[in-house]
């Protein structure tokens, strides 16, 4: 037999990449759900399938255990290698998916925040027999904190509650009530059985009363792109390109400010302001590999050429005139502490925000968040996995938006210079 | 730093700071699939060694896979040597790198073939991998890359 088997033709249509996160308590069915997605989209790979068939048989099961599909990294975890988040990949032919799977235990807040920071969508699993639990609240709070654009509440194990619409409705209204208190608005609910494959890729036969989309339909349709027209233009400068070719007079005055458009859109001729200098000028050209573009939008990496000669270096920011961010040396933020060494109020840290690094000291902890009860508690220092509202004083100004408005210019990390480790994740208020 | 010190990756704020004498390992395309790699090769029109394209080769079959017959991996008594049209999907140490049967002798044909393949690159071609789902991680740890 050839090693290559054909199952599905992959089409050329491309809806881009969707990153999503799965959260649930132990045994809610997270592994089964992911396995089901891979299996029913026929993206599970034949060798992986053989491996889990073997393992299922070895364990005396007659059907294959789909949760084994996600157990690949278990061994490393047991060996104590730090893999904070396991990533899994699949593709449907129209879209590529990256699933971030953060372990569900309480002490893994930092793993979930890490996984959530790049996710477009979160699936929060609820066991239909148990309803909304403390863990559900915790996961929902964290997805909200990190501002994941789409939230899907998957009410799983519907087969164990006789596919009851009453139970689904009750859990949905419980969830909606507490989510509203947190300010979470746009949530979708899907009843499902990961075990039987109902409402994941196929609709199944027992959930006729549910008219909404299946999970895969929601994933396929979820938007990921920046809404460029509504966002402010933000261009943190990564690198200043000054060709050294002094023999070529044309290049003598060339200054290309290179970076990635963090948000918004800019066109040749637009008025821009350079921070921190505050100087105003216009965009003379937008270039990619020597080619000129009329405009550039979020996520594109380009070189901007400006009409006036302005002294600009890495860490500066080019924005649209009239749409200035906060230029500030004092930030208030929600901070998730990631390090085993507690946050020390007497120490200097380094804050990295877009392409800019600045020394910083803690100016105060307003409160620590008890993410089980949502209560605010007083705190002197922060331990690993703590989430708190804090303020920092910076040695240099940063150009910030609130994280709720702009993930790219609202997020920062805290670095401990004595170890160079990333020790904190911050979201500016 | 040891691989135990994998730093959390938040947003796209990468922390690549290091002290003198420290090494940092980066896997910039670790989330690329084989399909992505071939599409990139096509788009950038990259030159590749001919071993990646379909060619005739002497092989023996073992553990459901194929092993090329070479000086370092000679046929064993009882092996049936076949002459098969194959290509290599990965090229590493010849003693553990196996070809797959294929007629794809151009990048376009390989892309067409890859798009419909259901066996992972590692599964089809790395004989030692089948015993352990964790062995790729093990390799990263040992500095295989
Ligand atoms: N009856 C039923 N059992 C399920 C369902 N989903 C998962 N399970 C079972 O619940 C147990 C825990 O599932 P698993 O996927 O390992 O949970 P995880 O800890 O969240 O990854 C396993 O025995 C699964 O077979 C479901 O929809 N219905």
As a whole number of Å, the end-to-end CA separation of chain A is 60
Mean pLDDT of A328-348: 95
Contact A315, A394 (CB under 8 A): no
Selected residue with higher pLDDT from A360 and A230 = A360
Whether ligand 1 lies within 6 angstroms of the CB of A114 is answered as no
Q: How far does the centroid of ligand 1 lie from the alpha carbon of residue A358, in Å?
A: 46
The residue whose C-alpha atom lies closest to atom 23 belonging to ligand 1 is A27
User: What confidence category does residue B122 fall into, taking pLDDT thresholds of 50, 70 and 90?
Assistant: very low
Average pLDDT over residues B91-119: 78
Rounded to 5 degrees, φ, ψ at B96 are -135, 15
What's B53's DSSP letter? S
Whether residue A362 has pLDDT greater than 60: yes
Predicted pLDDT of residue B99: 87
Position A92 confidence tier, pLDDT thresholds 50, 70, 90: confident
Task: Go through chain B and tell me how many residues it has.
Answer: 145
Q: Which of A123-127, A152-156, A175-179, B64-68 has the lowest mean pLDDT?
A: B64-68
A98 vs B31: CB contact, 8 Å cut-off? yes
Contact A5 B119 (CB under 8 A): yes
Q: In this model, does residue A83 exceed pLDDT 50?
A: no
Would you say the CB of residue A29 lies under 6 angstroms from ligand 1? yes
Answer yes or no: is pLDDT of A187 > 70. Answer: yes
**pLDDT band at residue A149 under the 50/70/90 scheme:** confident
Q: Spell out which chain B residues touch chain A, with contact meaning CB-CB distance below 8 angstroms.
A: 3-13, 15, 17-19, 31, 33, 35, 65-66, 100-102, 113, 115-120, 122-124, 130, 132-134, 137, 141
Report the nearest-CA residue for atom 12 of ligand 1.
Answer: A27
Q: What is the mean pLDDT of chain A?
A: 86
Q: Which of B4, B8, B124 sits opposite A110 (nearest CB)?
A: B8
Mean pLDDT of the region A60-66: 65
Q: Do the Cβ atoms of A136 and A151 come closer than 8 Å?
A: no
pLDDT number for residue A225: 63
Are the CB atoms for A222 and A150 separated by under 8 Å? yes
Number of helices and strands in chain A (H, E): 8, 22
CA distance A283 to A276: 17
pLDDT at residue A254 above 50?
yes
Question: Taking the model in full, what pTM does it have?
Answer: 0.81
From start to end of A1-85, where are the E strands? 17-23
Does A303 have pLDDT greater than 50?
yes
CA of A195 to the centre of ligand 1 (A): 7
Domains and CATH numbers, chain A: 3-228 (3.40.50.300), 234-320 (2.40.30.10), 326-428 (2.40.30.10)
- In the predicted structure, residue A110 carries a pLDDT above the cut 60: yes
Q: Is A383 helix (H, G, I), strand (E, B) or coil?
A: coil
Task: Average the pLDDT over each of A262-271, A295-304, A367-376 and give the range with the smallest value.
Answer: A367-376
A118 CB near a chain B CB, below 8 Å?
A: yes
Q: What is the pLDDT of residue B82?
A: 94
Ligand 1, atom 4: closest residue by C-alpha:
A195
- Measure CB to CB from residue A82 to each of B4, B15, B19 and give the nearest one: B4
Binding site membership of A157 for ligand 1 (Cβ less than 6 Å) = yes
- Predicted pLDDT at A107: 57
Contact criterion met (CB < 8 Å) for B9 and A83: no
The yes-or-no verdict on residue A7 having pLDDT over 50 is no
* Mean pLDDT calculated for residue range B109-117: 75
Closest C-alpha to A122, from A177, A67, A66, A187: A187
Please tell me whether residue A28 adopts helix, strand or coil conformation: coil
Asked whether this complex has an ipTM greater than 0.95, the answer is no
Ligand 1 centroid from CA B58, angstroms: 47
Q: What is the per-residue pLDDT across B35-49, written as a single tens digit (0 to 9) for each?
A: 778 889 999 999 999
Most A CBs within 10 A among B9, B13, B66, hence the mutation to make, goes to B13
What separation in Å is there between the alpha carbon of A193 and the centre of ligand 1? 9
Helix (H) or strand (E) holding B101: strand B100-101
Residue in this structure with the two tokens 């949905």, named with its chain if needed: A172
Amino acid A1: pLDDT: 31
The helix/strand/coil state of A355 is coil
Find the A153 Cα to ligand 1 centroid distance in Å: 16
Pocket test of ligand 1: the residue of A22, A25, A26, A27 to mutate, having most ligand atoms within 8 Å of its CB, is: A27
Which of A33, A195, A197 for a ligand 1 pocket mutation test, highest count of atoms within 8 Å of Cβ? A195
- Checking if the pLDDT of B104 tops 50, the result is yes
Residue A80: its pLDDT value, please? 37
Go through chain A and tell me how many residues it has.
Answer: 429
Both tokens of A15, joined, read: 């809806």
- pLDDT at A372 (0 to 100): 82
pLDDT tens readout for residues A13-55: 567 889 999 988 888 998 889 888 877 776 655 545 556 666 6
Query: CA-to-CA distance for A21 and A115, rounded, in angstroms?
Result: 7
Residue B126: the pLDDT is 39
CB contacts, 8 Å: B99 with chain A: none
Partner B contacted by A81 (CB < 8 A): yes
* Per-residue confidence (pLDDT) for residue A374, from 0 to 100: 87
pLDDT, tens digit, for every residue of B53-75? 999 999 998 776 788 998 888 88
Which among A45, A76, A117 is the nearest to B123, CB-wise? Answer: A45
Exposure string over A28-60, b if 16+ CB within 10 A, otherwise e: bbbbbbbbbbbbbbebbbbbbbebbeeebeeee
């Amino acid at each position: 037999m050839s090693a290559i088997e054909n199952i599905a033709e992959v089409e050329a249509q491309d809806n881009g990449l969707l990153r999503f996160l799965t959260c649930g308590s132990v045994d809610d069915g997270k592994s089964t759900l992911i396995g089901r997605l891979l299996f029913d989209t026929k993206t599970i790979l034949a060798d992986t399938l053989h491996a889990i068939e073997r393992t299922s048989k070895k364990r005396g099961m007659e059907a294959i255990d789909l949760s084994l599909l996600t157990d690949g990294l278990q061994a490393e975890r047991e060996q104590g290698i730090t893999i904070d988040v396991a990533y899994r990949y699949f593709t449907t032919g129209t879209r590529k998916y990256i699933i971030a799977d953060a372990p569900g235990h309480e002490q893994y807040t930092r793993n979930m925040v890490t996984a959530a920071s790049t996710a477009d969508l979160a699936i929060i699993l609820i066991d239909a027999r148990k309803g909304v639990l403390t863990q559900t609240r915790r996961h929902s709070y964290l997805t909200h904190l990190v501002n994941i654009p789409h939230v899907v509440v998957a009410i799983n194990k519907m087969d164990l509650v006789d596919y009851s619409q009453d139970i689904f409705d009750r859990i949905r209204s419980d969830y909606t009530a507490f989510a509203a208190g947190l300010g979470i608005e746009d949530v979708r609910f899907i009843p499902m059985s990961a075990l039987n494959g109902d409402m994941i890729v196929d609709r199944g036969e027992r959930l006729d009363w549910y008219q909404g989309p299946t999970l895969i339909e929601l994933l396929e349709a979820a938007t990921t792109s920046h809404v460029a027209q509504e966002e402010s233009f933000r261009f943190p400068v990564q690198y200043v390109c000054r060709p050294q070719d002094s023999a070529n007079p044309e290049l003598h005055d060339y200054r290309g400010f290179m970076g990635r458009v963090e948000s918004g859109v800019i066109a040749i001729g637009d008025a821009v302001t350079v921070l921190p200098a505050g100087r105003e000028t216009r965009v003379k050209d937008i270039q990619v590999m020597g080619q000129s573009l009329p405009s550039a939008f979020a996520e594109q990496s380009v070189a901007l050429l400006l009409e006036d000669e302005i002294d600009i270096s890495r860490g500066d920011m080019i924005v649209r005139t009239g749409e200035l961010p906060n230029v500030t040396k004092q930030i208030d933020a929600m901070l998730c502490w990631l390090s085993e060494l507690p946050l020390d109020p007497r120490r200097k840290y380094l804050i990295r925000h877009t392409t800019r690094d600045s020394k910083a000291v803690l100016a105060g902890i307003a409160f620590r968040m008890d993410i089980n009860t949502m209560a605010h508690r007083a705190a002197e220092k922060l331990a690993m996995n703590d989430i708190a509202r804090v303020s920092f004083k910076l040695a240099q100004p940063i150009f910030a938006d609130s994280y709720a408005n702009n993930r790219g210019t609202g997020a920062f990390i805290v670095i401990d210079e004595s170890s160079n480790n990333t020790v904190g994740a911050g979201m500016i208020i | 730093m040891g691989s135990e010190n994998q730093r959390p990756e938040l947003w796209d704020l990468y922390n690549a700071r290091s002290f003198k004498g420290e090494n940092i390992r980066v896997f910039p395309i670790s989330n690329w699939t084989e399909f992505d790699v071939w599409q990139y090769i096509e788009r950038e029109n990259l030159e590749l060694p001919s071993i990646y394209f379909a060619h005739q080769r002497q092989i023996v079959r073992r553990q459901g896979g194929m092993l090329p017959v070479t000086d370092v991996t000679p046929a064993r008594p009882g092996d049936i040597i076949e002459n098969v049209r194959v290509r290599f999907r990965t090229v590493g140490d010849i003693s553990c790198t196996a070809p797959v049967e294929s007629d794809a002798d151009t990048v376009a044909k390989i892309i067409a073939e890859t798009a419909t393949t259901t066996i992972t690159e590692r599964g089809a071609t790395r004989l030692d991998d089948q015993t352990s789902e964790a062995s790729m991680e093990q390799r990263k740890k040992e500095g295989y890359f």
